A and B are shown apart, each in its own frame.
Chain A
Amino acid sequence: MKKKKLVMDIRGLTKYYGKVVGIEGLDLKVYEGEIMGFLGPNGAGKTTTIRACLDLIHKSDGVVNIFGLDSHRDSLEIRRRTGYLPGDFGMYPDLKVRTILKYLLSQNGISDTTRMEELARSFELDLDRKYGELSKGNRQKAGIVQAFMADQDLIMLDEPTSGLDPLMQKKFYGFLREERENGKTIFMSSHILAEVEEVCDRVAIIRNGHLQVVENIHSLKEKMGKKLVVEFENSVDTGLFEMEGVNDFSIDGRMVTMIVTSNLDEVIKTVSRQNIINMSLETFSLEHLFLTYYSRGGRDP
């Protein structure tokens, strides 16, 4: 199996704002061609991490290598190869979007505006309007076009769908998948669990400046297990389900609820030996997983 190329290698990244901890001891690796979701509530340290990677703020400690380059020393080269959509941004209100984007594109040494035009058309953005006249959603679209127009290898997105309507969000998710297919690496912070679940390959969860978990979304869900609810015709012996892979067993009359983390085949066979009236098997959502992490203070579920 071909080894995936490391694009972002963050080790022990720490940023203090005076005595306040922004992020502390953060370790994270992002590989080529993946969409990494960076999940956490407001103030958890998502934006600080991204901005430290781009040297917009200076790290207090730790090592950040992007494309094998040092985030501070080689900041210009990193930014040449990285697109970025800030979470809260503005542009020049009195200038046309086209003028602004061409200026930003020219900073990357690009004068060909074909991709910019295509992206604007795709996201239904009028380039000939002044930025100050745009709605919140259209400003966000301008930001998205800006992040992707230089066709860079790595794209960092901070809350990218903020202000987009649901249809445009769907379109954006589809666009992200296309970009991944084209070999782009995308590092995307969000507090919207559904969007991370929909587009990301892996997720990193951050809380109070500390990384809680980094995992493939499917593996994470597997780890969380499935919720099995069975209504039996008659009451059953609880001892039946004392087996490997069954957790949080509870019984309410003839209704049995359990969390199955492994050995599902054996559990189903055991259940089916009884007379069943109703049965459901639910996969936990990322939201449940996220809340579990937070309620447990970051311990493994």
Chain B
Amino acid sequence: MYLLEALGGKTFLMELRKGLKGFTVFTLVVVLIAGGMTQLYPVVQEAMEPDEMEGAEFVILEVGDEGIYLRWVTVPEAVEYVVMEDSHPYMVTSYEIERTPENHTMVVHAEGERYFAVIYVTDEGEFPLGMVSAQETKDPLEVLMETPFYRMFTAGRPDLTFDEMEGFLSVELYSWWILLVGVYLSYLSVKSITDDYQEKRMDIIFSTPLSRERYMVEKFSALGVVVLVMIVLSGVFVMLAAGTVSDGGGTNLLVALVISWPMFLVIIAVSMFLAVVTGSSRKAVGLSFAFIMLNYGVFMAGHMVDSLSVVHPFTICHYWDYNSVLLDGVVYPWHLVLLTAIALVVLVLSTLFFRKKDIPS
């Protein structure tokens, strides 16, 4: 009730007015990054598709017990076919292993990478027909996922794939979201308090009949509304931008961002708490950055190092389960309730501390 009353309070409105320029620039930057990332999807998706060899559709390679069986389409004007082999796809150092009038041949097994090219010979000359590789071609994303570092960004979901927009955004946008928004938000939250100290307006503000509780709650509400607006705008922008380059996504892209709001409420509350306790921008900003980095670092490292996975539940990132929305379409309400409760507890603690503290002159 008190929180609802704070929305529209004088300090709430003053906070919005005072920070309007900063909030607008911040929102614009985040929205553009979020939307811009979505627009990169087609390019990245193309880059992630396995490279197809030239003319691969004309040559078929089958691996059998006796050897590698090669066959190719028949070219009517061909008098014979030349099969070349190399250990490299560019075939610069290739050598002839077979010359045959048939449209097939058998090659013995051998170690290492093997690439084959078929050339057909006519009265006019020699022409390339197609290339094929004995190697099993891997999806580049699979190759990335095999590296522990990249696995961090999957948030524990090995089923992620760049075949879908959701998978791409999960890795390239949502896994960075807390840093993208949280760092600047924590700075804003700290400054909303410490600027009043450092610019020496606390005395004047508190010479009015404004309680310290009200002051804290209205500041918290203002920052909460700012970040909610920014999240929703970003979500809508991502959703619309995704619609222009892909069929997937839809409202899940928006919902996955909206459920990050309670996590940012925790960041606001913690930053305000640190600002009140330290009374110094530099210390409070440093400590709140450390709080975010520690949470993010432990969360991410937990997906790389199994032994760290036990500390996951102690990070706020753990309770923003964007992948469950993006990949499964599921929201866990208790995650949101828990984060909101943490934010409110920290806010109450900040207020209690602030009530006991002398306002520095």
Binding site for B on A (CB under 8 A): 47, 51, 54, 56-58, 76-77, 79-80, 82-84, 86, 88-95, 99, 103-104, 106-108, 143, 146
Contact = CB atoms under 8 A, between A and B. Distances in A.
A107 B208 contact: yes
A53 to B, nearest CB: 11
Given A89-B200, A90-B200, A92-B201, A54 B206 contact: yes
A86 B209 contact: no
A54 B207 contact: yes
Given A76-B210, A95-B18, 4 more contacts: A51-B203, A51-B361, A84-B207, A91-B204
A79 B209 contact: yes
A27 to B, nearest CB: 22
B18 A92 contact: yes
A91 B14 CA distance: 12
Contact of A82 (B205, B207, B361): B207
A156 B17 CA distance: 29
A221 to B, nearest CB: 33
Contact of A79 (B202, B208, B359): B208
A10 B206 CA distance: 21
B65 interface: no
Interface in B180-212: 199-211
B111 interface: no
A24 B200 CA distance: 26
A92 B21 CA distance: 14
A58 B353 CA distance: 13
A19 to B, nearest CB: 15
Given A57-B358, A86-B361, A103-B10, A91 B207 contact: no
A107 B210 contact: yes
A47 B361 contact: yes
B359 A86 contact: no
B211 A76 contact: yes
A267 to B, nearest CB: 49
Contact of B204 (A76, A93, A146): A146
A129 B107 CA distance: 88
Given A57-B358, A95-B18, A79 B207 contact: yes
Contact of B358 (A47, A58, A77): A58
Q: Of B11, B202, B206, which is in contact with the most chain A CB atoms at under 10 Å from its CB? A: B206
9 contacts: A51-B361, A79-B206, A82-B207, A89-B200, A92-B14, A92-B18, A92-B199, A95-B18, A107-B10
A206 B206 CA distance: 25
A93 B201 CA distance: 10
A88 B198 CA distance: 11
A79 B208 CA distance: 6
Given A80-B209, A107-B209, A146-B204, A95 B17 contact: yes
Contacts of B358: 56-58
A103 B361 CA distance: 21
Contacts of A47: 361
B258 to A, nearest CB: 31
B18 A83 contact: no
Nearest to B21: A94
Contacts of A106: 10
A52 to B, nearest CB: 9
A76 B209 contact: yes
Contacts of A80: 209
